[in-house]
Amino acid sequence: VIGHPKYQESKRIAIFLSMPDEIQTEEIIKDIFKQGKECFIPRYKPHSNHMDMLKLSSAEDISSLTLTSWNILQPSDDDSAREEALAGGGLDLIFMPGLGFDKKGNRLGRGKGYYDTFLERCMKHPSGKPYTIALAFREQICESVPVAENDVQVDEILYEDC
């Protein structure tokens, strides 16, 4: 990931805080700050499909986040001090999680459409749609995954031995 050309050229990067069954992102987050890039993480709104990407100030900032009922760390709902990516300069790159992927770039998420809805908003932002890279285990690559018309394909899937 760290040697990837899209990562190298990106300045504003959104990345998920990994759950135990996902590719672990902690070292990538540390490198984002080491390289002097800006790091944004998701804040999901419950009972909706709305998600914002909010800026972290440092890798250590993660310890100040709130644990949601889904067991995901994220900025609290009343945290209004953080920059929201689309209120500022947009994003260059988004690292995305998922449950399954196919080689056409289709992604099976957890069913709420948070990333698809967020990418739709990105497409309306002056900076345009960021490059998207899904981080996966080889076992998550399928022949095909079910898609709906509002599902947005990922630009690239990185997994072991790809």
Judge whether 22 is annotated as a binding position: yes
- The three-state DSSP-derived secondary structure of the chain is CCCCHHHHHCCEEECCCCCCCCCCCHHHHHHHHHCCCEEEEEEECCCCCCEEEEEECCHHHHHHCEECCCCCEECCCCCCCCCEHHHCCCCCEEEECCCEEECCCCEECCCCCHHHHHHHHHHHCCCCCCEEEEECCHHHEECCCCCCCCCCCCCEEECCCC
Judge whether 109 is annotated as a binding position: yes
Judge whether 138 is annotated as a binding position: no
Judge whether 17 is annotated as a binding position: yes
Judge whether 112 is annotated as a binding position: yes
Judge whether 135 is annotated as a binding position: no
Judge whether 119 is annotated as a binding position: no
Judge whether 111 is annotated as a binding position: yes
Judge whether 43 is annotated as a binding position: no
Per the annotation, where are the binding residues?
Answer: 17, 22, 107-115
Per the annotation, where are the binding residues for substrate?
Answer: 17, 22
Per the annotation, where are the binding residues for ATP?
Answer: 107-115
